[in-house]
C-alpha cells in the first residue's frame, strides 16, 4: 500500500470547508452500486431513493467524481415503466451486465485507484448457498465472488448490504480487501436497514468529533462503518425491535467477519463500551485495522467565526 500523507489541520479549501484528504498519491475513487430486483413498489422506491442520496452525497461531500460512479439497477423493463429508478441509472442489474461492467472496470483501474462496490437489494439462502436476486440468472456467493477476481487497485472495499450477506465474506476475501456485510451468514434472512442508514450517514455525516469514533484524530473507513452500525442499532432501539442484522467487517483476509463495533458502541446499542472507557480494536491481526488506516476525503462545513 502506498505511503499516506495528510495535509495539516489548518489547510482550508475554497475558504468555507475543511477537508480530511485521501493520500496525496491516491488515484481515482471509483464506486459501483449494484441493486438487483428491488421487490415491491415500496422497496423499489426505498432503494432508488437511497441510491440517489448516496450518489449525490459521494459527489458533494466525499470527493468522488460524478463520472466515476456506475449504477446497475433492477431489470431492463424497469428503465421504461415509469416507476422509480435511480436518476442516472441506464444499466440493468443482470448477471451479464454485471460481468461486462466489472470487466471494463478491471481494464480502467489503475494501481493507485480506490474501488467501492456497494451491493443492495435482496438475497436468499437455499440451505447451501446464498443467492443475490438479479434480473435473470441469480449468482450465488461463489459465482459473484468470481466476477471480482484479479481486481488491481490500492483500495478495494465491498459494502454488502443485503440479507445473508455474510456468506460472501469467505469467497471474496483477499489481501488488502475490506469486506463489510450487513448480516452474519445464513441465519439473518430479513431485509436490512443497513443500505438506508449508509445513505443517511454519507449524506449527513456526524460532526468530526462524533464521526471519529476510534478517537485517532482522522476520519477513516472504519469510522464510517462504525457510524453506520451505530445508526442501525439506534433505529432498532427507537422502534423497540429485535435486532435482526449484525454487521461484520473482514479486512485481514481470513474470510471471517467480526463485529468489531462491539468495542466502540455503548451497551444500550448492543456494544461493550463502558462509560469513560476508550474504544480500541482488540487482538493480534484483528479485523478493522486496515479500515482504520484508510483515510477518507470528507468535506466538513467550516465552523463559524465568533
Whether 2 is covered by a domain: the verdict is no
Cα–Cα distance measured from residue 126 to residue 140, given in angstroms and rounded to the nearest whole number:
10
Q: Residue 71: which residues within 8 A CB-CB, separation 6 or more?
A: 33, 35, 51, 55, 86, 88, 89, 91
What is the per-residue pLDDT across 37-79, written as a single tens digit (0 to 9) for each?
999 999 999 999 999 999 999 999 998 999 999 999 999 888 6
Q: Which residues have C-beta within 8 Å of that of residue 119, sequence separation ≥ 6?
A: 34, 35, 132, 158, 159, 160, 161, 162, 165, 168
Pairing of strands 69-73, 177-181: unpaired
Q: Is residue 294 part of a domain?
A: no
Segment 3-8 shows an average pLDDT of 40
Q: Look at the chain and report how many structural domains it folds into.
A: 1
Report the share of the chain in percent with pLDDT over 90: 65
d(CA 144, CA 279): 35
pLDDT tens for 68-121 read 999 999 998 886 677 788 988 889 999 999 999 999 999 999 999 999 999 999
Show the cell assigned to 128: 447451501
Q: What is the mean pLDDT of the chain?
A: 86
Quote the CA–CA distance of 28 and 153 in Å, as a whole number: 10
| Whole-number pLDDT of residue 275 | 83
pLDDT, residue 283, reads 59
Which CA distances in Å does 69 have to 32, 87, 115, 175? 6, 12, 10, 24
Query: What gap in Å lies between CA 83 and CA 48, rounded to an integer?
Result: 10
Phi, psi of 292 (to 5 degrees): -70, -20
Q: What's the confidence (pLDDT) of residue 55? A: 97
Cβ atoms within 10 Å of 127's Cβ, excluding its own: 5
C-alpha 180/C-alpha 164 separation (Å) is 12
Range(s) of the domain holding residue 181:
26-279
Phi then psi for residue 195, to 5 deg, are -65, -40
In degrees to the nearest 10, what's the CA dihedral of 146, 259, 159, 40?
100
CATH number at residue 169: 3.40.50.1460
Does residue 262 carry a pLDDT above 80? Answer: yes
Is 303 contained in some domain? Answer: no
Name the pLDDT band for 201 (thresholds 50, 70, 90).
very high
Q: Is the model's pLDDT at 241 over the cut of 90?
A: no
User: Within a domain: residue 302?
Assistant: no
Q: CA quadruple 15, 24, 57, 236: dihedral positive or negative?
A: negative
- Asked whether residue 16 is domain-assigned, the answer is no
Confidence of residue 22 (pLDDT cuts 50, 70, 90): very low
Residue 286 lies in a domain: no
Establish if 191 belongs to a structural domain. yes
Q: What is the pLDDT of residue 302?
A: 54
Is residue 81 situated within a structural domain? yes
Amino acid at each position: 500500500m502506498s505511503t499516506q500523507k495528510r495535509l495539516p489541520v489548518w489547510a482550508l479549501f475554497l475558504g468555507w470547508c475543511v477537508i480530511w484528504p485521501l493520500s496525496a498519491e491516491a488515484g481515482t475513487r471509483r464506486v459501483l452500486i449494484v441493486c438487483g430486483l428491488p421487490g415491491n413498489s415500496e422497496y423499489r422506491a426505498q432503494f432508488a431513493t437511497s441510491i440517489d442520496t448516496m450518489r449525490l452525497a459521494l459527489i458533494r461531500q466525499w470527493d468522488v467524481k460524478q463520472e466515476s460512479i456506475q449504477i446497475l439497477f433492477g431489470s431492463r423493463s424497469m428503465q421504461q415503466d415509469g416507476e422509480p429508478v435511480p436518476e442516472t441509472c441506464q444499466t440493468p442489474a443482470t448477471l451479464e451486465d454485471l460481468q461486462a461492467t466489472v470487466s471494463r472496470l478491471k481494464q480502467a483501474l489503475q494501481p493507485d485507484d480506490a474501488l467501492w462496490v456497494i451491493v443492495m437489494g435482496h438475497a436468499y439462502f437455499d440451505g447451501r448457498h446464498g443467492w443475490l436476486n438479479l434480473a435473470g440468472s441469480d449468482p450465488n456467493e461463489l459465482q459473484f465472488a468470481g466476477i471480482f477476481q484479479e481486481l488491481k487497485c490500492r483500495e478495494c472495499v465491498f459494502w454488502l448490504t443485503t440479507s445473508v450477506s455474510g456468506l460472501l465474506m469467505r469467497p471474496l476475501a483477499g489481501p488488502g480487501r475490506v469486506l463489510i456485510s450487513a448480516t452474519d451468514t445464513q441465519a439473518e434472512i430479513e431485509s436490512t436497514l443497513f443500505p438506508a442508514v449508509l445513505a443517511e450517514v454519507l449524506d449527513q455525516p456526524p460532526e468530526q468529533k462524533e464521526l471519529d469514533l476510534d478517537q485517532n484524530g482522522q476520519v477513516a473507513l472504519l469510522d464510517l462503518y462504525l457510524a453506520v452500525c451505530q445508526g442501525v442499532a439506534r433505529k432498532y432501539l427507537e422502534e423497540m425491535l429485535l435486532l435482526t442484522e449484525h454487521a461484520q467487517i473482514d479486512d485481514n483476509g481470513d474470510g471471517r467477519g467480526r463485529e468489531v463495533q462491539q468495542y466502540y458502541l455503548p451497551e444500550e446499542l448492543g456494544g461493550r463500551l463502558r462509560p469513560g472507557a476508550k474504544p480500541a480494536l482488540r487482538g493480534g491481526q484483528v479485523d478493522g485495522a486496515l479500515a482504520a488506516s484508510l483515510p477518507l476525503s470528507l468535506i466538513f462545513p467550516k465552523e463559524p467565526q465568533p
